[in-house]
Chain A
Amino acid sequence: MNPGMITNLDQIFVILQHRVAGLFPPLFQPLVAMILGVLGIIAVFPGIFALTTVLERKGLGRMQNRLGPNRVGPFGFLQPIADAIKSLTKEDIVPRTADEIVHFLAPVVLVVAIFLGYAVLPVGRNMVLLNIDAGILFFFAIGATAELSIFMAGWSSRNKYSLLGAMRAVAQMISYEVPLLLSAVVAIMMTGSLAPTVIVQAQSGFTGILPHWYVFTPWGFAGFALFVVAALAETNRSPFDLPEGESELVAGYFTEYSGFKFALFFLGEYLGMMSIAGYGITLFLGGWGAPFSFLEFIPSWAWFFGKLFLAICFFIWLRGTLPRLRQDQLMNFAWKFMLPLSLLNLGVAASWRFLGEWLGTGLTGEIVRWLACAAVLLLAYVLLARVLLRRQKISPRSYRYAD
């Protein structure tokens, strides 16, 4: 393929957007381009959500030695359509004692907030809806709104399981937001910008055939690992799915939701998972960059969505593998383990920068810097884990309430 064609394929959606916007009078062109971008997001990500539900059910089925959905369409891949029809035609029940307005607003606020989070996510070269300077901050600020909507859902249902689920969810999300932010700050600090596009650009170089992704540095790897764990907790995914632990709380904060509103919660949860995965990819995995220099001819958006697909598979795999945590373990893990490590990681990232200036850019300098930073992080990880494990008095289980 010639270079021009590669560029065209890479920019096909951008070109399409310009062509369609060009059909309108110049005054409306920015508006039309914006609406097209919004429509793209609203069409693509729920589409991926629909595929994810099938994939998750089939994947979990395989892990649990059963088939999963296989009735609707070829290999059951039209299952989401059946699900959508079902949830749209179901009766929408609002409990008599519920706070109707808040009960109605909760899923709406959740879905709107989560969709807004996609506005600054670069899904390909030049493919970002709003290229604002403080993009990452925007995402975290909008993500904070989701917590409030979960509280609204749980509180307005007037159901103890809903309320308990909501309190669990909010406590968990607030606790894990701290390490999530701090682990993301590493990438922001090393790039020197809060704009997602700039962060991706900073990782787009190659050494030999290997890319300059942040995950290949010690601080980047530690930051990425912390980010993934915090993201799992933030999106209430297994093993951090206590807020909706069905064995304890029926369905957590959306116990009292049915029909379309329940579907909205479901949608919001998966969209939240995909957006946080998208930001993880942007911050640490090079965004839309190719993993090897000789694969750069593949369009940037294909790389982004490929990575997103892998991230979703990873999430499904974890859900099928790990058991659920206990509430106190969850909180202790956030405050005693994740927080100190992410703070240390910030320090390591800063010293990485200054070691680089001090040791020069030679190969030995690079290796020394890499090993020193990795050693500090590994040592801290091992020591902290040992201390915390020793503190935990492991003894035969006592049943405080069941006696």
Chain B
Amino acid sequence: MSPAMIEGFLFGLIAVMTLAGALAAALLRNLVHCALSLTVTFAGLAVLYLSLGAQFVGLSQILVYIGAVAILVVFAILLTHGAGALPHLFVASSGWRTGWVAAVVVAFVFIGALLRSPLPQSSGPVPQIAVRSIGQALMGAYVLPLEIVAILLTVALIGAVIVAMPTEQGESK
């Protein structure tokens, strides 16, 4: 087996894992199972980022999505009694047929478009990006987006707390 074949095999494995997680999230009845299969997708994506040489983004993906977003989702599910309640007889919304048709059409359009377009087929070596240079870029050319993201996150934090805060006195924990 050549290294390229091993690489392709591993890529296929990770890609199938990623997509299977997303598919399970789409089809499973139990909400917590959906959330857990979603973490498989997030982890698979992180591995894909790592394989593309984006080490910092891949690790951030694990930290943010598995460490925070997935936990947030399961907490929300438990707080809204989505896990304990009997699953609905029908978990799909009223327009689910149209929804799946739309999704399949979108998938075909995307894949058709990218198979027809001229894409760079070969690439150089995996770029070695030091964390230091990411930091310098964030503090240099990208300082304005960084500040805006900082404000956005602060606003989101305060906003989420205020929105989810119980309003009536009787509801306070």
Name A's B-contacting residues (CB within 8 A).
Answer: 99, 102, 132-134, 137-138, 140-145, 147-148, 151-152, 155, 163, 167, 170, 174, 177, 192-194
Contact = CB atoms under 8 A, between A and B. Distances in A.
Contact of A193 (B32, B67, B75, B132): B132
The majority secondary structure among interface residues of chain B is: helix
Contacts of A152: 36
Interface stretch (B58-66, B115-123, B146-154): B58-66
Contacts of B62: 141-142, 144-145
A144 B67 contact: yes
B63 A140 contact: yes
A141 B59 CA distance: 6
Contacts of B66: 141, 144-145, 148
Contacts of A194: 131
A18 B78 CA distance: 51
A120 B75 CA distance: 31
A-B interface, 10 closest residue pairs, ranked by CB to CB distance from nearest:
A144-B67, A141-B62, A141-B63, A141-B59, A137-B59, A194-B131, A133-B131, A134-B131, A134-B55, A134-B56
Contact of B39 (A99, A148, A174, A193): A148
A276 to B, nearest CB: 15
Contact of B67 (A102, A138, A167, A177): A177
B74 interface: yes
25 contacts: A102-B32, A132-B55, A133-B55, A137-B56, A137-B131, A138-B59, A141-B63, A143-B67, A144-B67, A144-B68, A145-B67, A147-B67, A147-B71, A148-B39, A148-B71, A148-B74, A151-B74, A152-B36, A155-B32, A155-B78, A155-B83, A174-B67, A174-B68, A193-B131, A194-B131
Contacts of A144: 62-63, 66-68
B162 interface: no
A143 B63 CA distance: 8
B22 interface: no
Contacts of B36: 102, 148, 152
A145 B71 CA distance: 10
Contacts of A148: 36, 39, 66-67, 70-71, 74
Contact of A170 (B33, B39, B71): B71
Contacts of B32: 102, 155
The majority secondary structure among interface residues of chain A is: helix
Nearest to A143: B67
Contacts of B59: 134, 137-138, 141
B130 interface: yes
B134 to A, nearest CB: 9
Nearest to B128: A133
A347 to B, nearest CB: 15
Nearest to B65: A144
Given A148-B36, A170-B75, 11 more contacts: A99-B33, A102-B36, A137-B63, A141-B59, A141-B60, A141-B62, A144-B63, A144-B68, A145-B66, A155-B83, A167-B78
A328 B36 CA distance: 28
Nearest to B74: A151
Interface in B58-105: 59-60, 62-63, 66-68, 70-71, 74-75, 78, 83
Contacts of A147: 67, 71
Nearest to A144: B67
A140 B60 CA distance: 10
Contacts of B63: 137, 140-141, 144
Contacts of B56: 134, 137
The residue among A142, A151, A192 with the most chain B CB atoms within 10 A of its own CB is A151
A170 B71 CA distance: 8
B132 A137 contact: no
A395 B78 CA distance: 34
B81 to A, nearest CB: 12
B19 to A, nearest CB: 19
B71 A174 contact: yes
Contacts of A167: 75, 78
Given A134-B55, A194-B131, A141 B67 contact: yes
Contacts of B67: 140-141, 143-145, 147-148, 174, 177
Contacts of B55: 132-134
A148 B74 CA distance: 9
A155 B131 contact: no
A343 to B, nearest CB: 13
Contacts of B132: 192-193
A132 B53 CA distance: 12
B52 to A, nearest CB: 15
A272 to B, nearest CB: 14
Interface in B144-170: none
B34 to A, nearest CB: 12
A327 B36 CA distance: 27
A259 to B, nearest CB: 23
A134 B129 CA distance: 11
Contacts of B83: 155
Nearest to A105: B36
A133 B71 contact: no
Nearest to A138: B59
Nearest to A192: B132
B55 to A, nearest CB: 5
